[in-house]
A = this chain, B = another copy of it.
């Protein structure tokens, strides 16, 4: 099989201050669909075109942030293999039983060198996107809010960027697609990694604040739908961090905004297709403005400093 190993970002558990206000925001403004709640009070959501049971889990907490990041792998055999590979690499793993997350099989959890908790899993109940599998239609009506396609990628921060980068490349089979070098021209300040044809599935940024999240990103179909997203966010008085604009990195277009708890979210569109025979792009420190915000070539303070 041509696409194997780790398939994609599968789910992420986000801490929110007010659960019901957040459910309202993630369903009516972001436009996800609620698919379940568990005994612990967590709320499960999915984007409309995702076929698995959920991609976002909301947990009420005293401070915003992300509890853990889930990666879907091809099958149980792959899960066992990667667990074994992680251990061989010197990473402690913990196996969580099926069902601890709703409709989800066993998970292999480990801590990345940047302090983030990741988990691999091979099984999650397929609930479909409503189009069916026989003579499917091509659209779902009455999508609410921004209504992205899927959870797309994460940008997360921590000190040992080299450690996390190496772990993802050497053990989990990710490929480096882009990097920003420090002023010394050698040190990676940020790296973009893919496990698929996407320009990125995850990005790590060097930051002394371990285990922090810059944003989780949702995929949007078109630049016009990005405009609608910005219009809708503005109409509902949601704080837009920046956008719509173009990234130099990935060539994608984007809006960044904040959920009611202060977690930054991205609606992302486009980006080139990546294949593992391609060279990565390198950005030098003096061009970081163009790398991130291609049009203005200037970063804003909030984008640089706020993580959760």
**Chain A residues within 8 Å of B, Cβ to Cβ:** 1-8, 49, 51, 72, 74-75, 126, 133-139, 141, 150, 172-175, 194-198, 221-224, 227-228, 230-235, 237, 240, 243-246, 248, 251, 253, 270, 272-273, 275-284, 287, 290-291, 294-297
- In the complex the two chains form, is A227's CB within 8 Å of B246's CB? yes
Given known contacts A196-B2, A281-B133, A295 and B231 CB-to-CB distance under 8 angstroms = yes
- In the complex the two chains form, is A284's CB within 8 Å of B135's CB? yes
Question: Which of B175, B227, B237, B253 lies in contact with A1, CB distance below 8 A?
Answer: B175
* Main SS at interface, chain A: loop
- In the complex the two chains form, is A7's CB within 8 Å of B2's CB? yes
- In the complex the two chains form, is B277's CB within 8 Å of A72's CB? yes
- In the complex the two chains form, is A173's CB within 8 Å of B2's CB? yes
The smallest C-beta distance from A228 to any residue of chain B, in angstroms, reads: 8
- In the complex the two chains form, is B278's CB within 8 Å of A240's CB? no
Which residues of the partner chain B approach A245 to less than 8 Å between Cβ atoms?
Answer: 230, 244
The smallest C-beta distance from A244 to any residue of chain B, in angstroms, reads: 6
Enumerate 17 A-B pairs (CB-CB under 8 Å) in ascending A order. Answer: A1-B276, A2-B4, A2-B173, A4-B4, A4-B276, A7-B275, A72-B275, A74-B277, A126-B279, A133-B280, A133-B281, A136-B248, A136-B281, A197-B197, A230-B246, A234-B297, A240-B295
